[in-house]
Amino acid sequence: MKKILIVDDEPNIVMSLEYAFKKKDFGVFIARDGTEALEIAEREKPDLILLDIMMPQMDGYETLKRIRESENLGQTKVVFLSAKSKEKDIEKGLKMGADGYMTKPFSIKKIISDVEEMIT
């Protein structure tokens, strides 16, 4: 079973993504901020992390930086899922080492197909 970690502080987004991925037989883990995301990722070793940028405590940029520096998580696929949709935001995310960048609002079908393509 493929595992995905959803990192977002918006309950509606988390609930809809969690439901959709579980329906597709993914193991789903949820974190509300970057600090929690790192703890869960170290423990669960997800195949992919969907990561919001604007979150309390530790933002997505810092979280990605720490994931890439981690011996255990450095190769984990990370896709930003953010309301920051300007070209410069997307470029920054990809330059920092994200494997993909999707903007909100989003299509759940598209996210699922993109994720399946990346990790299967």
Tokens of 114: 């993109």
Cα angle value 18/110/112 (rounded, 5°): 40
Can you give the length of the chain in residues?
Answer: 120
Query: What's the order of all strands across the beta sheet hosting 77-82?
Result: 27-31, 3-7, 48-51, 77-82, 100-103
- 34 three-class SS: helix
Go through the domains of the chain in sequence order and give each one's CATH number. Answer: 3-112 (3.40.50.2300)
The alpha carbons of the chain give a radius of gyration, in whole angstroms, of 13
pLDDT string in tens for the chain (120-residue length)? 999 999 999 999 999 999 999 999 999 999 999 999 999 999 999 999 999 999 988 999 999 999 999 999 999 999 999 999 999 999 999 999 999 999 999 999 999 999 999 998
